[in-house]
Amino acid sequence: MMRRRTAQQVYDTSVGHLIRQGKPASEDGIECSYRTKDGLKCAIGCLITDKEYRVSMEKNNVCAINRHGILPEPLVQFIDLLEELQSLHDDILTKSKVIDKEFIRVAKNIAARYDLSSDILEKLI
């Protein structure tokens, strides 16, 4: 039986992954991917196991994969947080291509909106 994740665990896993990876998951540098051929993962892709991943997720935002019933069930309860984390990757990181002050600012704002700790930023940056 899989242990339920908390919003803090989702945030820390996603943001920590993006910081460690240091660049967006994109095949062409423009369009984001949940997973790339060279192993990069986006803010949501890093939360999805190999067993849960479906190629049909690609080219769909997290709300669409939820509507299609292919978002892993343990993540469904975090859909609003996932939307914001996806935007952090797709809109902020893909634009800058690096972890910069804007990424950090937006990541801290996400944590604040959900009453989460942003300590992962200080630990990894």
pLDDT tens per residue, range 66-103: 999 999 999 999 999 999 999 999 898 888 888 899 99
45/29 Cα distance (integer angstroms)? 17
- Residue 1 domain flag: no
pLDDT tens per residue, range 12-54: 999 999 999 999 998 887 789 999 999 999 999 999 999 999 9
Q: How many domains does the chain have?
A: 1
- Residue 117 domain flag: yes
- Residue 56 domain flag: yes
- Residue 2 domain flag: no
pLDDT tens per residue, range 104-114: 999 999 999 99
- Residue 24 domain flag: yes
Q: Is the pLDDT of residue 1 over 50?
A: no
- Residue 28 domain flag: yes
| H-assigned helices in 1-125 | 7-21, 62-67, 73-76, 79-87, 94-96, 101-113, 119-124
- By residue range, what is the domain housing residue 11? 7-124
Global confidence as pTM: 0.93
- Residue 21 domain flag: yes
